[in-house]
Amino acid sequence: MSILVVGSVAFDTVETPFGTADDALGGAAIYFSAAASYFSQVNLVGVVGEDFDATQIKFLEGRSVDLRGLETKPGKTFRWGGVYRDDLNERETTFTHLNVFQEFKPTIPEAYRNSEYIFLANIAPELQLDVLNQVQSPKLVALDTMNFWIEGSLPALKEVLKKVDVLTINDSEAKLLTGESNQIKAARAIQAMGPKVLIIKKGEHGALLLFEDLSFFSAPAFPLESLYDPTGAGDTFAGGFMGYLAKCDDLSAESFKQALVAGSTMASFCVEKFSLERLKDLSAEEIRTRVQNFWKMTNFNPEGKGFQF
């Protein structure tokens, strides 16, 4: 099954306690596509400037990512800079130059309009609505957002949420959107807005998946010895999650749980190097082994020998 992703393509300048990367390939659409392409075919819609070196994304073309929706406009590509200190869950934005992304108005190519799975990356809710008006009866629509849109474009965000099946959001954004600090109450409030499946991202503490009946499933963050750069981890998570669902084309609760682990697995690879370096050349065996380690890490038998209560 094919996935349509609409979002940013950028150059990132990042500093962490473990090094720096200048003008490194980034952006939500790129991180998402790099992860999802290990599972499914991806159709990418975004915009770059005349300064963009297309050879940087050649690796995506070799992994079933269709780039016909990537427009080149006069001007410079979106650039972002950030610094991570000792706490890698917190970052300071040092600059944001939207450049051609400021006037981005997604036009979905005719060949993409029947994509079965849609991921609306972190762009203005008005643009997300416009994308949904251009596509034809997708099986599943997932959306990402952030504090900026919750605070500045809430009416439009609520409109697009009515049309969305899955919302990915972090715990502070869930609180801001609903006014509820309790995650279960926040989930109930968000599901009343439209999305019946909610993923609350919790950084180094993993992710929580909540269903319409408020049953839930949690996946931890994979413990790593080497963690260099958390930039793009959330979009990589979304790529693994949506890529897995599209691959199995099954929207049962069990598939969603497996997709959450797939997303967490891909995000764990992303942070091991700067930019997309770790995501460029993963092997199927590496992914399979880490998924198996997730299973070993989280599985236990309450009836097993030695478990007492």
Residue 309 above 70 pLDDT?
A: no
Which pLDDT band holds residue 190 (cuts at 50, 70, 90)? very high
Residue 254 above 70 pLDDT?
A: yes
Residue 102 confidence (pLDDT): 94
**Distances in whole angstroms, Cα of residue 248 to Cα of each of 141, 161, 216, 245, 265:** 16, 25, 21, 5, 17
Q: Are 217 and 199 in contact (CB under 8 A)?
A: no
Which pLDDT band holds residue 205 (cuts at 50, 70, 90)? confident
Closest CA relative to residue 135, chosen from 119, 124, 157: 119
Residue 277 confidence (pLDDT): 95
| Weakest-pLDDT range from 29-38, 97-106, 151-160, 195-204 | 195-204
Q: Give the burial string for 246-269 (b: 16+ CB within 10 Å, else e).
A: bbbeeeeeebbbbbbbbbbbbbbb
Residue 300 above 80 pLDDT?
A: no
Closest CA relative to residue 263, chosen from 35, 68, 8, 28: 35
Residue range 272-283: mean pLDDT, rounded: 94
Q: In what order do the strands lie in the sheet with 19-26?
A: 19-26, 10-16, 78-84, 91-97
Kindly report the pTM of this predicted structure: 0.95
Residue 267 confidence (pLDDT): 95
| Average pLDDT value over all residues in the chain | 93
- Domain limits, the chain: 2-297
* Share above pLDDT 70 across residues of the chain, in percent, rounded to a whole number: 97
| Weakest-pLDDT range from 143-152, 198-207, 244-253 | 198-207
Output the six-digit token pair for 35.
């992860």
pLDDT in tens, 216-233: 999 988 988 888 999 999
Using DSSP's 3-state secondary structure scheme, residue 102 falls into: helix
CATH architecture of 2-297: 3-Layer(aba) Sandwich (3.40)
